[in-house]
């Protein structure tokens, strides 16, 4: 017999929302199991039971925003740390990109629960996703995420000669980090001092550590794409809304 699971976990598995959102909706009485309202946190359901949400939940979710920011150097992705400001402080009416094509109007309430869906180191720049939508956060940083991320990485070889072809192959597949083999990556030369990395995972400072393993020093790192969404012409320090037609 199949074991029951927490209702919030089941809602996340079904792609209805994040677990945090699920708990909020359960408390508000917006969730039904087999047609019956369930408002007790921690309630469990069987996989065959039908889970539905009230219209208010869908309406609230539709108002949640996802913002694309071109993060400059010197800002941290999440909470403020070591005197450095979080990237979210850059999101305001004045810093919105003039060429943003969405009709959405900015309101300070959009900053509430706006969290980074994936990190970008303090000394890295480029595309950072900030979202209020738990479904997008799960899609980008969930354990089973299949969304790839693309980076331009300026490097300097610290050993005599040039990077051997065998070490370029190791960057693509063959390195071990934190005791585990890294997933296959796609790493190619963009020009004589710049590599293009495409990854499907995001360990802390992964690219810098990968480069260090083969004698490369990272001079600059810029994220230019997450799944189907590109940084494009978005200026440094400015932001825009994710368009309705864009999908990660």
167 an active-site residue? no
Tokens of 121: 């180191």
- The alpha carbon of residue 29 and the mean position of all alpha carbons in its chain are separated, in whole angstroms, by 30
Q: What DSSP assignment string belongs to 205-220?
A: THHHHHHHHTTEEEEE
- Beta bridge partners of residue 84, listed in sequence order: 81
Q: Is the CB of residue 238 less than 8 Å from the CB of residue 97?
A: yes
Which residue of the set 82, 121, 167, 193 is catalytic? 121
Which residue numbers are catalytic? 121
């Amino acid at each position: 017999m199949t074991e029951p699971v927490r209702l919030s976990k089941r809602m996340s598995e079904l792609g209805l929302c994040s677990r945090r959102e699920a708990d909020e909706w359960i408390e508000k009485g917006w969730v039904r199991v087999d047609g019956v309202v369930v408002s007790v946190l921690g309630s469990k359901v069987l996989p065959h039971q039908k889970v539905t949400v009230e219209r208010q939940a869908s309406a609230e979710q539709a108002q949640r925003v996802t913002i694309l920011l071109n993060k400059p150097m010197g800002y941290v992705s999440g909470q403020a740390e070591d005197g450095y400001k979080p990237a979210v402080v850059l999101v305001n009416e004045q810093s919105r990109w003039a060429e943003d094509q969405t009709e959405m109007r900015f309101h300070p309430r959009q900053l509430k629960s706006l969290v980074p869906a994936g990190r970008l180191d303090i000394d890295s720049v480029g595309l950072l996703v900030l979202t209020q939508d738990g479904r997008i956060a799960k899609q980008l940083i969930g354990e089973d995420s299949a969304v790839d991320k693309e980076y331009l990485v300026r490097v300097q070889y610290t050993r005599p000669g040039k990077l051997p072809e065998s070490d370029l192959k190791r960057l693509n597949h063959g390195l071990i980090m934190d005791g585990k083999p890294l997933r296959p990556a796609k790493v190619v030369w963009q020009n004589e001092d710049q590599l293009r990395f495409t990854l499907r995972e995001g360990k802390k400072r992964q690219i810098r550590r990968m480069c260090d393993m083969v004698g490369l020093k990272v001079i600059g790192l810029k994220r230019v794409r997450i799944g189907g969404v590109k940084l494009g012409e978005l200026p440094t320090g400015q932001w825009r809304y994710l368009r309705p037609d864009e999908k990660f």
